């Protein structure tokens, strides 16, 4: 009996010893993973994508590699904006608990909370220069968070990252352009600053190169859409092409009317393209379908810009239900508001009571005063009328546009010749 008791005691002691060694090994590996997380967080706040890639197990052919590279593809067409992005990234911190790191064999994972300055609010506010915005980012105490996770694999004696979630959401600021009235280069660092300490512009191209690449890209877009554009030109007998620096970044946008089927032109859509340096091509940013058409009223439209937004109004319908739709975009080409006003005509009502006008923001009905406030401000603040096929009447809330500078759209042939002349 004594021998059995001793044997049982020794067995229990050995099990505790083995478990203790195993727990010590797990804690050691948790510490090693924790070191990788800290290095990752530091590289992330420095936007050091090469350093992060060296911390991963990915090959260039892996989907995770491509997704990661896409997160670091920033929409910067001018070097002045890079300091804003770098300063925004510099506020990134990772919030997690060391005890939450899970290690199982040669796999590990951790849930993290990314904390970053509330750039969404700051980028929408208007600043006179990149320097002013950089200062506002540095001074801001407001933050937003993103919940994500990291997964790791053991590579020999080292832990490497195998999966990152929500990185695209965290780095979304790199796809947005802030609201700056002065798009000049930010203040240069002091003379004693090592130039290698300056953040590098991600594309490595200079403004003049971007401009020429944009011109070449727009000629390709015109080549690709020649049949669709010229069909609209001939059918509707209008000049369908415009080129103008809508967002004020020094590189113009291309916009035009084109149909979907050049063999049977019943309607035409409006397209707006801008050049994207990182993609190396002109990207379609806005499409307004069926902005003009053959039936009924034929469709009315006008497009104009203020210093920080693009407004597109188009109208159509029957006499009994005629609608004006307006979409408002920021200069990151996001749709930020939409409005509608409906003219309803009752043929059975007395003439002075036959017309009813209703106003909507999105799908919610609003008052005439609320509607007019928006459009009086935009019409009065317009800097250019980019396109239109009608002139607002004196009773129209957008009537102030008749006194604003306007851009005469061009025929396909004239636009192509003009854009080609911009090539150096």
325-345 tens-digit pLDDT: 999 999 999 999 999 999 888
Q: 198 and 220 in one domain? A: no
Q: 269 and 216 in one domain? A: yes
Q: 223 and 198 in one domain? A: no
168-177, 184-193, 195-204, 255-264: which range is least confident on average? 195-204
Q: 265 and 176 in one domain? A: no
327 within some domain: yes
Kindly tell me if the per-residue pLDDT of 78 is higher than 50: no
Kindly tell me if the per-residue pLDDT of 223 is higher than 60: yes
Q: How many CB atoms lie within 10 A of CB 314?
A: 21
Q: 266 and 214 in one domain? A: yes
99 within some domain: yes
Q: How many residues does the chain have?
A: 424
Share of the chain above pLDDT 70, in %: 85
Q: 218 and 106 in one domain? A: no
303 within some domain: yes
> Which of 202, 230, 262 is the endpoint of a domain?
202
Q: 346 and 296 in one domain? A: yes
Q: 381 and 343 in one domain? A: yes
This prediction has a pTM of: 0.52
Q: 198 and 218 in one domain? A: no
> Which of 142, 169, 202 is the endpoint of a domain?
202
How far apart are alpha carbons 185 and 199 in whole angstroms? 13
Find the domain containing 394 and state its range.
209-421
> Which of 143, 172, 202 is the endpoint of a domain?
202
Q: 149 and 84 in one domain? A: yes
4 within some domain: no
Q: 352 and 282 in one domain? A: yes
Q: Are 305 and 383 in contact (CB under 8 A)?
A: yes
pLDDT tens for each residue of 137-162:
988 888 899 999 999 999 998 999 99
How far apart are alpha carbons 121 and 119 in whole angstroms? 5
Please tell me the total count of domains within the chain: 2
Q: Are 36 and 159 in contact (CB under 8 A)?
A: yes
Q: What is the 3-state secondary structure (H, E, C) of the chain?
A: CHHHHHHHHHHHHHHHHHHHHHHHHHHHHHHHHHHHHHHHHHHHHCCCHHHHHHCECCCCCCHHHHHHHHHCCCCCCCHHHHHHHHHHHCCCEEECCHHHCEEECCEEEEEEEEEEECHHHHHHCEECCHHHHHHHHHHCCCEEEEEEEEEEEEECCEEEEEEECCHHHHHHHHHCCCEECCCCCCCCCCCCCCHHHCCCCCCCCCHHHHHHHHHHHHHHHHHHCHHHHHHHHHHHCCCCEEEECCCCCCCCEEEEEECCCCCCCCEEEEEEEEEECCCCEEEEEEEEEEEEECCCCCCEEEEEECCCEEEEEEEEEECCEEEEEEEEEECCCCEEEEEEEEEEECCCCCHHHCEEEEEEECCEEECHHHHHHHHHHHHHHCCEEEEECCCCCCCCCCHHHHHCCECCCECHHHHHHHHHHCCC
Per the prediction, the chain carries an average pLDDT of 83
13 within some domain: no
How far apart are alpha carbons 156 and 283 in whole angstroms? 44
Q: 269 and 175 in one domain? A: no
14 within some domain: no
311 within some domain: yes
pLDDT tens for each residue of 374-409:
999 999 999 999 999 888 888 888 888 888 888 889
Task: State the CATH number of the domain containing residue 153.
Answer: 3.10.450.100
188 within some domain: no
């Amino acid at each position: 009996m004594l021998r059995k008791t001793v044997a049982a005691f020794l067995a229990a002691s050995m099990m505790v010893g083995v478990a203790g060694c195993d727990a010590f090994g797990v804690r050691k590996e948790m510490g090693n993973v924790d070191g990788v997380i800290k290095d990752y967080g530091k590289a992330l706040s420095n936007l050091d994508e090469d350093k992060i890639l060296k911390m991963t197990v990915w090959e260039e052919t892996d989907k995770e590699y491509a997704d990661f590279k896409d997160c670091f593809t920033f929409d910067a067409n001018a070097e002045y904006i890079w300091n804003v992005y770098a300063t925004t990234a510099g506020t990134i911190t990772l919030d997690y608990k060391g005890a939450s790191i899970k290690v199982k064999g040669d796999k590990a994972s951790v849930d993290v909370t990314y904390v970053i300055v509330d750039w969404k609010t700051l980028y929408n506010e208007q600043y006179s220069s990149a320097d002013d915005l950089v200062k506002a980012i540095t001074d801001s105490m407001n933050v937003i968070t993103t919940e994500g996770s990291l997964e790791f694999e053991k590579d020999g004696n080292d832990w490497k990252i195998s999966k990152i979630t929500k990185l695209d959401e965290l780095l979304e600021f790199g796809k947005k352009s802030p609201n700056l009235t002065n798009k000049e280069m930010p203040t240069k660092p002091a003379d004693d600053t090592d130039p290698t300490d300056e953040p590098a512009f991600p594309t490595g191209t200079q403004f003049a190169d971007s401009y020429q690449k944009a011109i070449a890209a727009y000629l390709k877009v015109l080549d690709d859409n020649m049949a669709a554009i010229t069909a609209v030109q001939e059918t509707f007998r209008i000049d369908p092409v415009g080129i103008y620096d809508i967002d004020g970044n020094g590189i113009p946008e291309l916009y035009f009317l084109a149909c979907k089927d050049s063999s049977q032109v019943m309607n035409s859509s409006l397209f707006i393209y801008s050049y994207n340096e990182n993609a190396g091509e002109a990207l379609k940013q806005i499409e307004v379908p069926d902005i003009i058409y053959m039936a009924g009223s034929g469709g009315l439209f006008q497009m104009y810009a203020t210093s920080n937004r693009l407004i597109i109004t188009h109208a159509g319908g029957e006499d009994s239900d005629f609608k004006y739709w307006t979409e408002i975009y920021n200069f990151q080409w996001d749709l930020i508001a939409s409005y509608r006003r409906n003219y309803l005509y009752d043929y059975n009502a007395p003439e002075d009571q036959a017309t009813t006008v209703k106003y909507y923001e999105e799908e919610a009905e609003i008052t005439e005063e609320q509607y007019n406030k928006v459009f009086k401000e935009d019409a009065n603040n317009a800097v250019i009328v980019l396109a239109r096929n009608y002139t607002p009447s004196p009773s129209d809330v957008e009537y102030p546009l008749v006194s604003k500078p306007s851009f005469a759209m061009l025929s396909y042939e004239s636009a192509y010749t003009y854009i080609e002349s911009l090539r150096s």
